[in-house]
Structures are given as C-alpha cells and as structure tokens.
Amino acid sequence: MRTHVTKPKDITRRWWVVDADGVVLGRLASEVAQRLRGKHKANYSPHLDNGDHVVVVNAAKVVVTGNKLAQKQLRRHSGYPGGLRSKPYEQVMLDSPELAVRKAVAGMLPHNRLGRAMLRKLKVYAGPDHPHTAQRPERLDLRAVAAPKDPEQAHTVEEVLH
C-alpha cells in the first residue's frame, strides 16, 4: 500500500462563517485556526496550506473570561530601544475588536510564511454583516464547543463599561 501525499491541485477550499457573539475568544481562535490549517480534513498535510476560508462576524461581542479585559495587554515593539507599546485588552476591544480576534488566531498558526498564507484566508468583522455572500459560506456553530463554562466569569466590553 502506498502513502497518500496531498498535492496542491487536490485541495478544495470551502467557506465558513462563524458568529462570535457570546463565544470565548481563545476557544473561538483555536477552532478557527484548525479550519484555516485544514486539520479537520482527511487529507491534512502539515507542509501544505489546505485549509478553508473563515469569516468571523460579531467580533465586538466576543467574550473573555476572568480579569483578562483589565489585566491582559496587547504589546508591540518598534525594534528600537524603549519602543515597547502596550494597550490593555479593554481598550483594544473598544477600538478594534477585529485586531484582538486576528491576533488570537495568528498566535495559534505556524509562525512562518505558511502561517501568513493561512492568515490571509481569515476575514474578521466587528458587526453582523460581511461582503462574502457570493462565496456562499456555510455556518459553523461554535456555541457547543466555545461557550463559556462559567457564565459569571465571562465578560464583554459592554458589561465592564456599564
């Protein structure tokens, strides 16, 4: 018996739409990263980008657990001495929730050119609308997988501000 090797011409890509309303950020990111990598397919190859396209809507309504909104920081460095800039996640979720979701997913992909190619197939929108209806994306329901285990520990930005 011969070993099957997936070739780039054998790859078929599907489109998925994920509603992030009330879903925990880390659990959402891990499921989306698996779809982008193609690990849910039988012909998965770690050296190929055979994943699907994923559209995430309602990123502004994603949930983080514990005290992460107040304590977690989004950090970036310019490369120069003293060039570290940080911003609390509460501010990140207010300014650009798409960035928070994108960074969470990017951290779960390979950190090389293959991971960057996979990340280009991710589309994130803060609201419920997206311009990808022509691709006829299928709904991917993550409520059973990514719902908060303890709803009292889950916080959205609106809850913290009010």
Whether the pLDDT of residue 55 is over 80: the answer is yes
Per-residue pLDDT tens over the stretch 125-160: 999 999 999 999 999 998 877 667 677 777 776 666
- Which domains occur in the chain, in start order? 14-161 (3.90.1180.10)
> Looking at per-residue confidence, does 146 or 5 come out higher?
5
The average pLDDT across 28-54 equals 94
Q: How does residue 93 score in pLDDT terms, banded at 50, 70 and 90?
A: very high
User: Is beta strand 84-88 parallel, antiparallel or unpaired with respect to 73-77?
Assistant: antiparallel
Cα distance from N-terminal residue to C-terminal residue, the chain: 63
Kindly report the pTM of this predicted structure.
0.89
The average pLDDT across 104-129 equals 97
